[in-house]
Structures are given as C-alpha cells and as structure tokens.
Amino acid sequence: MWLTTLWILFSFLGASAANDGILQRGIISNSSSNSHEPIVKMFIKNMTDSIATRQPNSISALFDEGFFFYVCKRSFNKTQFVKMLSEVPKKTPVTITLKSIGDYPIVNYVKFFATVTGVAPVPLEVRFIISPFENQHTLSEASLPWCRLRPYDDFVREESPEVIYQKFMKRMIKTINSKDKVLISGLFEPDFTFSGCEEDYDKKEYISVLEELSPSVTNFSLVTYVDKGPLIQYFASIE
C-alpha cells in the first residue's frame, strides 16, 4: 500500500497567538494537575540553573526547536529568546516562581503559570507549556496571558515558511523514528485524515502505518508550499 515516495499535504498552523483551544499537536488529556507538580518543579529548577550560567548552549537545551514566546506586540523564536536570556547581566538574578498548574488539551503536555523576574523592568506573569521529548521535558511555548489575543492578520511571523517547515520536519522525523506512539500522536490533529489513492486513513490508522515504516524515514523533501498567513500548506515527499 506504500510506495517508495509518498506525496503528502501538510496543513498546520505556522505560528499563531497562544490559544488553549488549538489542538494542532495532539489529543485530549485527562491527567490531574497535581500529578504534574514534580515535573513542573524540576523543569523550573533546571531552567533557573541553566539561565544562571548565561551559556546559550545550556539554555538552548530547554527549548523545542519550534518554540515561540508571544508578547503583546510581537513574538520571539527560540534563537532570539535564548540570546535575550544569555545577555541578562550576571549580577541580575532571574527567578521563576510557580503560581499554578493546569491541564492542557494535549496528552503529556503541561501548562503552568509563573512569575518571572530579572528579564524585564517589572515582574512578568508568564504562561508556559512544556512537552516531553527524548526522555526530558522542553519548553514548547510561552506567552503573556494578559495580552489581548490578536487576529491572524495582525500576527508578525518571525521565520520564513521554509524555516518553519525544516524545524517541523526535523522533529517529525525524530518522532516517527522513535516508534513511540504517544509522541507520534502528538504530531497530528485529532481529526487528521490521510487521503491515499485508494482509501483514506484516520489518525489512529495512519499512526499505525508510521510505526511500521521500514527502513526508517530519513527525509521529507519539500516540493512547494502555499502560505495563507496563519495556515501554511506544504507539499512534500517521504524518502
């Protein structure tokens, strides 16, 4: 049923304002926020310790490749935000104080709120989302919850569609080759459908196929894309 090269259409949000209702990366989680507390506290400790070094490589390890920090007038990608943190004067302590933990509508993802000092003239109330990847938790997204969510046409994308594609594909290849069903599931929307030449596959069926791919997926070759603002459609081939 599978050819050496498969043509697929990727449609996902390139980068939108933070929104708990966006389910582009997984399935509903019913876990209690209490069970997440040790994970969050450990992550905050690791993050505080890494920022204290002011070493970009140490700080960078805390973030997903597709990380964005959303503020009221713009956003910062991983490279930009790591640079900002590494340039905070060493004499200025950066503190992260946990305020609350909440469930997030993606399995194994955790949302928490904390007060951050040392990175701005005043303390910041920040909303964080962390996710599991390669036996650790990394920061997927951060935002200022009191900022008004802007409409899509007011969003300023900090990276080109090509860069967004390369980062997403890098993570997708690693995830598929891990053969971890939970991580693979997190790549797709709940109502995802793969339309083949002879039949269609829902999310569960498609994940089963990806788990059985052999040899390992090594590359997704970008053919073209259609940029529709918050939505980017990619045409690519699997090799």
Residue 86 sits in the same domain as residue 165: no
Residue 173: left (phi > 0), alpha (psi -120 to 50), or beta? alpha
Chain segment 160-208, per-residue pLDDT in tens: 777 777 777 787 877 777 777 777 877 777 778 888 777 888 888 888 8
Q: Are residues 99 and 202 in the same domain?
A: no
Cβ(108)–Cβ(38) under 8 Å?
Answer: no
pLDDT at 94 over 80: yes
Q: What is the pLDDT of residue 60?
A: 94
State the total domains in the chain: 2
Asked whether residue 75 falls in the same domain as residue 115, the answer is: yes
Tokens 């997030």: give the residue.
104
What pLDDT digit, counting tens, does each position of 69-84 carry? Answer: 888 767 888 999 999 8
pLDDT in the model for residue 155: 38
Mean pLDDT score across all residues of the chain? 74
Residues 143 and 172 in one domain: no
On whether both 98 and 144 belong to a single domain, the answer is yes
What pLDDT band is residue 35 in, cutting at 50, 70 and 90?
Answer: confident
Query: CB of 24 within 8 A of CB of 10?
Result: no
More confident site: 46 or 146 = 46
Residues 139 and 167 in one domain: no
Does residue 116 belong to any structural domain of this protein?
yes
Contact 181, 211 (CB under 8 A): yes
206 and 124 co-located in one domain: no
Domain around 124: 33-149
**Is residue 220 situated within a structural domain?**
yes
Domain co-membership, 165 together with 226: yes
First to last CA, the chain: 15
Mean per-residue pLDDT for 117-134? 85
Taking a C-beta distance cutoff of 8 angstroms, is the pair 106, 130 a contact?
no
User: Are 172 and 214 in a shared domain?
Assistant: yes
CATH of the domain at 44: 3.10.450.50
pLDDT of residue 15: 32
Give the pLDDT score at 114.
94
Range among 17-21, 79-83, 199-203, 210-214 with highest mean pLDDT value: 79-83
Do both 113 and 165 map to the same domain? no
> Which is more confident, 107 or 192?
192
Of the residues 119, 149, 179, the one at which a domain ends: 149
Q: Does residue 156 lie within any of the structural domains?
A: no
pTM: 0.51
pLDDT tops 50 at residue 211: yes
